[in-house]
Chains A and B, each alone.
Chain A
Amino acid sequence: MIRARYLPFVATVLIFVVAYALCALQFPNMLSFRVLGNLLTDNAFLGIAAVGMTFVILSGGIDLSMGSVIAFTSVFVAVLVRAGVHPALAFALALAVSTSFGALMGLTIHALKMPAFVVTLAGMFLARGAAFLISTDSVPISHDFLKQLKGIYIQLPDKGKLSFLAILMLLAFAVGVILAHRTRFGANVYALGGSEQSAELMGVPLRKTMIQLYAFSGFMAGLAGLAYTLYTSAGYSLATVGVELDAIAAVVVGGTLLTGGSGLVLGTLFGVLIQGLIQTYIVFDGTLSSWWTKIVIGMLLFAFIVLQRLILLVSERRAAIRASSGG
């Protein structure tokens, strides 16, 4: 029997599989390794950001600065590379900056006892503003090192590719899963999400965990920024506006509770894939106007959420009945 806390995850996976099957029935082309590969590559940066977001949400917090940090990182790297810095060094610097920025937000949240929503909202303005200051223009980059990176991929059948970005995202999820479920840091994050006060009284080092947590989320945002830079070979200060909302939606669709303390990192992967699937479906359909696109995305999101709740409700009922007839 499936434990109650895994139910949201199972529901998400189930919904994804069924939805994919339905799409494939309508557009047989969608059932190809090419589309599957695209699904992973195209959503790689979102997925990486969503790993960080999952941790933050598990702790009961939120990180609204992600979209801006991604844009900032991409501009930062692009400008450095344009100035002649080796990309590897630029990447390392960018990750150092985004990680420290996250750590600083974590420290602020803890030390000033301010809600994460507000601190990271300010962080969102700040990072975007900083990106503008570096360059308002979009800055293209090209460097052999980047080409080499992009040259890494695993060939799938029928012209499908598991690209470097896709591999990077899957790695990020693997790290996320291990961190969440097999380390003390992960356990502390779940504890914070249960109740900050109780966690403190049980000896969880609040300050340290908070700083580590937002540093991790900053790191993931930075890594997502690098993925985005690779993806577009450019840095652009107006890029990825509102990506944090996509990431939050992916986390929640993946079965994590926004109130914190409950959810699985792997669920987020399926949350991301479900969003990608919705978009792919809309492209394949190709008849929706701009507004119908928005409306349909909203409706599908609604359908997924309601379906998820229904599956949960039904299985909880079942469990209750089974328990009573068993006992």
Chain B
Amino acid sequence: MRGRILSAAVGVLTLVAAHPAAAQAPEPYRVGMTAAITGPFSAGYAPTYEAYRTYFKRVNEAGGINGHPVVITYEDDRGEPQRAAAAAKKLTDGALLLINASISPTYKPVMTEAEASKTPLLFGGGVCPREAFPPAAPLIFCTTSFGSKWDSRMALGFIKEQSGTKKVRVGFAAQDIPLSRIELEFAEQHARELGMDTIPVVVVPGAASDFTPFAQNLKDAGADWVFSWAPWGVEIGVFEALHRIGWKGNYILYGHQPAQDELTRLRAPNLHALTGNAMFIESLPIHAEITKLVQGQTNHPAHYMAEGWTSAMVLEAGLRKCGWPCTREKLAQALSSVSVDTRGLRGGPIEMTADNHYRRATYYKVYRWDAGKNAIVSVGGWSKLDIK
């Protein structure tokens, strides 16, 4: 019995080793994706994986791209760097492009693999690495709506605009992960440059048992505005605690996927969600289309798909432009000059250039709950920020 288990294991290992490249006609475009599909951070990344899957299912059903289907191999890295490295190693074997939709600690190992095999690497879902910003690394691309430095600039600009001539004091709520802390330390400095009063960044553990003491620190320091750029749990946790202890200031956070539901749940007029994706409450045609397409294909709500959907659009455009046969170099080149109309999912087209693999301009919108209308409203329209 035990001997059999052992031989079965050996057999399976041999299978893994010999994993044959599935041969079908016509030849497909091969792409690999490593994503945090499960694990403690999956809430933000699993929807991207599902969006890609649904999106290219439709593309393939409609005859593929240039007559060739797109085959994406998905690997679950659980947000663990080692697993991502192994996944990247596996995926670069024969893939035209690698997609990363995972947390930032997976970036370095995946980039190392992509670089070694000269595979273009597209970040879609996780925060954009600085290699995608101008001057961009030749093989690194990013479609994610949120990006460090730009988001802080935009949020602080919004605060300044809202408060007019009044001198405001701004607080910052970060999570105890390097990414969030570094971003908000930048924001703190930037706020001072903009002439605002600042409170040192309050760093909150992701697993805080109670957000109240952190909120109390912000309240005691006299914050008029608080900006939070972190995973959703901390962003909203600090706000709710502030709200409960009777803080009357304004709060702005990055609007991740749950933002739309949470604004509705909390109905707090002083809660602002800054986001690069149009919320589905705007009911654009593309929103309806996505909603219909993902019906029964995913366990996540349709409005969680926006991030991945946009990314998939960019990949599709790149592949179309690459033609057939497509190579890694050609695809990298194609992506470097792509211009994608997001049909309203974003504030404008995603345009990449040879030295800007992020976008020539990025667009933001701020949403909040309007008690009078009993609905989420956007505060002004799209704002545009040129990326230079």
Indicate whether A and B interact: no
